[in-house]
Amino acid sequence: MKLKIIISSILALFMFFGIAWADTVKVGFNVPLTGFAAADGESALNGAKLAVNQANANGGINGKQIELVIYDDQASPKEAVPIANRLIEKDGVKVAVSGSYSGSTRAAAGIFQAAGIPYISAYAIHPGITRAGKYVFRTSFMGEVQGRAGALLIGQTMQLKRVVVITLKNDFGKSLAAGFKAEAANFGIEIINEYEYSIPDRQFGPIVAKVRADKPDAIYASGYFFTAGPLVNQLRSGGVTVPIIGQEGYDSEQFIKIAGAASEGVIITTSLDRDSNSPETRSFITEYEKLTRNKVDMVAASGHTALNVVIAALRIAGTSNPKAIRNAIAQTQLTAATGHISFNALGEVRKNVQVQIVRNGGWHYHSEIRDQTLLAPPES
């Protein structure tokens, strides 16, 4: 009996301390691989896989290979909750990443927080995600921050004042609109009208007619590439010629394909500068496009960045203790494909906002927003 107790105690210690004792180092990854968000999910997963492949080629974690444990959450909160529980209880992951949208990421965040397992949102923007607790982080901008950046871009950089806001009616669109409207007056912007639409919508005739009658100087329109593409196309074909400013949801080659010639001149706030001279960004773009034979996008870069934060934290922590991994993530100082990454007390990222424009059928550098007072995420 005494020997059995000693062996059990040793095994327990191995389980607590032991990346060194595991065959692989497991990292959970929930991502939409089917359903309306599957294209973004594929990009996020490919970015994450590239980071894992690069790390494993360089010795993994203490000589152990990293294993990405992947589940399709269909961008659905109903799917994300059991996936989070399975990753924790069945797969035994000590850290996880969301490559999914805000709804599913918010739902999973509370599960990981309750279990004391660090969880990083790669690109979901709802403010409630990190407020789940101190084990939850985000490597992309929360919606309000990106909305504020949009106000600076339109009102100060572009010197446009009469703006129509078109808002996608979900977590993503509402948080962007909230940030934009909160700062609009500070940059001399008058919001002359706001219109809303839903994710299934693809026919925007009534909105186009109203915007045309409003005669704004610019349009601030939230959406994903699959909604923004038809919206922009119909605005242009309906005779609306003023600048259209979007956000990271547009950041895909698919947007350009869907919108066609109407995409020319569209400007967005995002996390990826495709024309950057940063070695980390240039290397990522080269390796990603070689691996996938697809053009890079913000979602892929964000998946790659989030995994690199996890990998760096695992190496620093040197243990599978979730608290030690969480503390290592909190102290992150890392230059990644999407810029320099560090976190505030809420687990929100601190970095510059990239501004891209469609020029000659591709995304290119427009400007960069560096105002850290404006971009500062909340601390609690």
Cα–Cα distance measured from residue 29 to residue 259, given in angstroms and rounded to the nearest whole number? 31
Q: Could you give the C-alpha distances from 131 to 30, 166, 246, 376, in angstroms and in order?
A: 19, 27, 26, 16
**Structural domain span for residue 227:** 144-270+355-375
Residue at 261 is within a domain? yes
DSSP for 350-361, please give it: --PEEEEEEETT
Cα–Cα distance measured from residue 193 to residue 177, given in angstroms and rounded to the nearest whole number? 12
Domain total of the chain: 2
**If residue 245 lies in a helix (H) or strand (E), which one and from where to where?**
strand 244-246
Q: Could you give the C-alpha distances from 316 to 44, 129, 309, in angstroms and in order?
A: 24, 25, 11
Return the pLDDT at 22: 57
Cα–Cα distance measured from residue 106 to residue 113, given in angstroms and rounded to the nearest whole number? 11
Residue at 191 is within a domain? yes
* Tokens standing for residue 294: 């697809």
Best CA proximity match to 147, nearest among 119, 131, 132, 168: 168
Q: Residue 356's pLDDT band (boundaries 50, 70, 90)?
A: very high
Asked whether residue 165 falls in the same domain as residue 232, the answer is: yes
pLDDT digits (tens, 9 = 90+) for 86-107: 999 999 999 999 999 999 999 9
* Tokens standing for residue 108: 């999973």
Please, are residues 99 and 48 in contact by the beta-carbon 8 Å criterion? yes
**Average pLDDT across the chain, whole number:** 94
**pLDDT exceeds cutoff 60 at 21:** no
Q: Residue 5's pLDDT band (boundaries 50, 70, 90)?
A: very low
Most confident of the following: 10-14, 19-23, 25-29? 25-29
Residue at 66 is within a domain? yes
Residue at 369 is within a domain? yes
Cα–Cα distance measured from residue 169 to residue 125, given in angstroms and rounded to the nearest whole number? 14
Asked whether residue 55 falls in the same domain as residue 160, the answer is: no
Cα–Cα distance measured from residue 235 to residue 249, given in angstroms and rounded to the nearest whole number? 18
**pLDDT exceeds cutoff 50 at 17:** no
Residue at 177 is within a domain? yes
Cα 338-344-345 angle, rounded to 5 deg: 150
pLDDT digits (tens, 9 = 90+) for 293-333: 999 999 999 999 999 999 999 999 999 999 999 999 999 99
Asked whether residue 110 falls in the same domain as residue 240, the answer is: no
pLDDT digits (tens, 9 = 90+) for 237-288: 999 999 999 999 999 999 999 999 999 999 999 999 999 999 999 999 999 9
Please, are residues 216 and 162 in contact by the beta-carbon 8 Å criterion? yes
**pLDDT exceeds cutoff 70 at 10:** no
Asked whether residue 286 falls in the same domain as residue 235, the answer is: no
Asked whether residue 186 falls in the same domain as residue 245, the answer is: yes
Instruction: Using DSSP bridges, classify how beta strands 190-197 and 119-121 pair: parallel, antiparallel or unpaired.
Output: unpaired
pLDDT digits (tens, 9 = 90+) for 172-197: 999 999 999 999 999 999 999 999 99
**If residue 173 lies in a helix (H) or strand (E), which one and from where to where?**
helix 171-184
Sign of CA dihedral 171, 205, 235, 207: negative
Asked whether residue 31 falls in the same domain as residue 83, the answer is: yes
Cα–Cα distance measured from residue 150 to residue 245, given in angstroms and rounded to the nearest whole number? 8
pLDDT digits (tens, 9 = 90+) for 189-231: 999 999 999 999 999 999 999 999 999 999 999 999 999 999 9
Asked whether residue 113 falls in the same domain as residue 190, the answer is: no
Best CA proximity match to 102, nearest among 143, 58, 61, 159: 143
Asked whether residue 256 falls in the same domain as residue 326, the answer is: no
Asked whether residue 155 falls in the same domain as residue 285, the answer is: no
Q: Could you give the C-alpha distances from 13 to 3, 22, 113, 199, 341, in angstroms and in order?
A: 15, 12, 23, 49, 33
Residue at 332 is within a domain? yes
* Tokens standing for residue 189: 């912007």
Sort 334 into a burial class: Cβ within 10 Å, 0-12 / 13-18 / 19+: middle
- Mean pLDDT of all residues in 338-353: 96
Residue at 380 is within a domain? no
Q: Residue 6's pLDDT band (boundaries 50, 70, 90)?
A: very low
Q: What is the CATH number of the domain that holds 39?
A: 3.40.50.2300
Asked whether residue 21 falls in the same domain as residue 102, the answer is: yes
Q: Could you give the C-alpha distances from 4 to 16, 22, 219, in angstroms and in order?
A: 18, 22, 70
Residue at 13 is within a domain? yes
Asked whether residue 266 falls in the same domain as residue 281, the answer is: no
- Mean pLDDT of all residues in 55-61: 97
- For residue 98, the cross-strand partners are 30, 121
Asked whether residue 119 falls in the same domain as residue 37, the answer is: yes
